[in-house]
């Protein structure tokens, strides 16, 4: 074991500062010029300085691992602030139905969609789910993700929801994988064979108390969308969850505007995601209430829907995060792919895109052990080393990882 790791001869380093979470980052204050070095001890960055100075101060001491980056660029560890990581099954055949013009709702009614994944997930063993989760998290790490928010929601009964959260907790404590922020999402759909009212009773009377007793979910999430959970139902579940000590998140306005943004603002939830059809007045209410917007461009990419309207977001300086929404219908674990969609399809500057999956995402899903999403002395040593002298390359390789290495909680992982 090494006492310290020295990263020397860094290329440009996008470090960000906490202030960049809620306002557009300024290039000069955000990107360090080439020639810096970083000293890492345990899971922390203990020093950032001129590479040559750090080399003469620390380079001769024994027990140090010295890594010459040769001018490769550095960005913070990526933070995936919205994922449905854990489920079993395969819905690939739905692509044909989608291309025949069937909507997400139609596909659900045909026996596909969330319900179909629920059936396979209920049948899967804990070990199988753990194995799937492990493989997926290795893949995410390969793409630079060092932390991920993960929802349950493919069990829809107490036993399977607890099982999913238990596997999430085991995966999250494996130090070789990205750290995880667990969310209970029993309100993802109403299970087949149950009427809406009975499921609402089961959610609040049985699932929520069992999840709270188990004690490993930090937040609750609700699919607030006509046809799934109405505004009233969503509000009941969210208020009950908050009374039980959980933080709140929402899926809103994915297919149509239905007042989810107003409810998100009223309840001051941590983040309201999808939000493609949210009207401007609700967006402004969310901003005033300190509610983040979570855009998930992988979903419209997979479904052929329209991209988020970024003009409004820019005009009103609305803080937002970007995440994968990894789920059976949108199977990407790559934030660099999401970044490429935003840069190349939505014409958003790479620095803004990067902030949305690092420093702003850290507000949506904080790390339990310290500051992440930025590179600073005293912060967690979670960062990515690009295979390029240009940090912008993180969003220009959608089909393979742009990183040559990732530092995860202080451990150097060569890819
Ligand atoms: O966020 N929209 C709701 N939930 C997921 C998709 C779930 C599924 O299709 O399995 C989402 O996109
Ligand atoms: Fe989602």
The set of protein residues with a Cβ atom below 6 angstroms from ligand 1 is 84, 113-114, 117, 223, 251, 254, 299, 325, 327-329
Q: Domains (ranges, CATH) in the chain?
A: 4-77+374-414 (2.30.40.10), 78-333 (3.20.20.140)
pTM over 0.85: yes
Cα–ligand 2 centroid distance for 84 (angstroms): 6
Residue 87 structure tokens: 């489920």
Q: Check: CB of residue 415 under 8 Å from CB of residue 138.
A: no
SS3 content of the chain, % helix, strand, coil (to 5): 40, 20, 40
Q: Give the pLDDT band (50/70/90) at residue 62.
A: confident
- The ligand that comes nearest to the alpha carbon of residue 254 is 1
pLDDT in tens, 191-234: 999 999 999 999 999 999 999 999 999 999 999 999 999 999 99
β-strands 320-322, 383-386 pairing: unpaired
Stretch 179-197: mean pLDDT: 97
The Cα 75–Cα 404 span in angstroms is 12
* CA distances for 199 relative to 9, 150, 186, 202, angstroms: 58, 22, 10, 5
Please check the confidence at residue 403 and state whether its pLDDT lies above 90: yes
Q: Which helix (H) or strand (E) holds 47?
A: strand 44-50
The Cα 11–Cα 35 span in angstroms is 6
Sheet of strand 4-8: strand arrangement: 44-50, 36-41, 4-8, 64-68
């Amino acid at each position: 074991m090494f006492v310290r790791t020295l990263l020397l001869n860094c290329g440009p380093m996008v470090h960000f500062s906490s202030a960049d979470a809620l306002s557009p980052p300024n290039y000069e204050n955000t990107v360090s010029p080439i020639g810096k070095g970083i000293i890492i001890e345990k899971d922390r960055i203990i020093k950032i300085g001129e590479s040559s100075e750090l080399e003469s101060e620390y380079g001769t001491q024994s027990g140090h691992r010295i890594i010459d980056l040769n001018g490769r660029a550095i960005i913070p560890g990526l933070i995936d602030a919205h994922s449905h990581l854990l489920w079993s099954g395969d819905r690939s055949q739905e692509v044909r139905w989608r291309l025949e013009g069937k909507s997400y709702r139609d596909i659900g009614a045909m026996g596909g969609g969330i319900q179909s994944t629920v059936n396979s997930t209920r049948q899967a063993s804990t070990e199988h789910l753990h194995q799937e989760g492990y493989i997926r998290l290795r893949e995410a790490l390969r793409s630079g993700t060092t932390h991920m928010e993960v929802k349950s929601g493919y069990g829809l009964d107490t036993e399977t929801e607890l099982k999913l959260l238990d596997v999430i907790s085991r995966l999250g404590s494996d130090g070789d994988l990205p750290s995880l922020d667990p969310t209970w999402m029993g309100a993802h759909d109403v299970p087949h064979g149950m009427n809406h009212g009975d499921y609402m009773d089961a959610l609040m009377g049985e699932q929520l108390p069992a999840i709270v007793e188990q004690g490993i979910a930090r937040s609750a999430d609700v699919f607030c969308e006509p046809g799934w959970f109405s505004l009233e139902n969503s509000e009941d579940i969210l208020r009950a969850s908050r009374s039980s000590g959980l933080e709140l998140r929402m899926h809103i306005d994915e297919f149509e505007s239905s007042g989810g943004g107003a409810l998100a603002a009223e309840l001051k939830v941590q983040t309201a995601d999808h939000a493609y059809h949210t009207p401007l007045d609700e967006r402004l209410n969310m901003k005033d209430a300190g509610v983040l917007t979570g855009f998930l461009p992988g979903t419209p990419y997979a479904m052929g829907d329209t991209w988020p309207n970024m003009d409004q977001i820019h005009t009103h300086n609305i803080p937002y995060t970007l995440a994968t929404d990894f789920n059976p219908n949108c199977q990407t674990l790559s934030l660099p792919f999401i970044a490429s969609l935003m840069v190349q399809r939505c014409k958003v500057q790479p620095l803004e895109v990067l902030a949305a999956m690092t420093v702003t995402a850290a507000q949506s899903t904080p790390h339990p052990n310290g500051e992440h999403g930025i590179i600073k002395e005293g912060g967690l040593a979670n960062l990515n080393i690009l295979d390029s002298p240009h940090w912008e390359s993180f969003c220009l390789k959608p089909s393979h990882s742009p990183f040559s290495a990732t530092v995860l909680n202080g451990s150097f992982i060569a890819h």
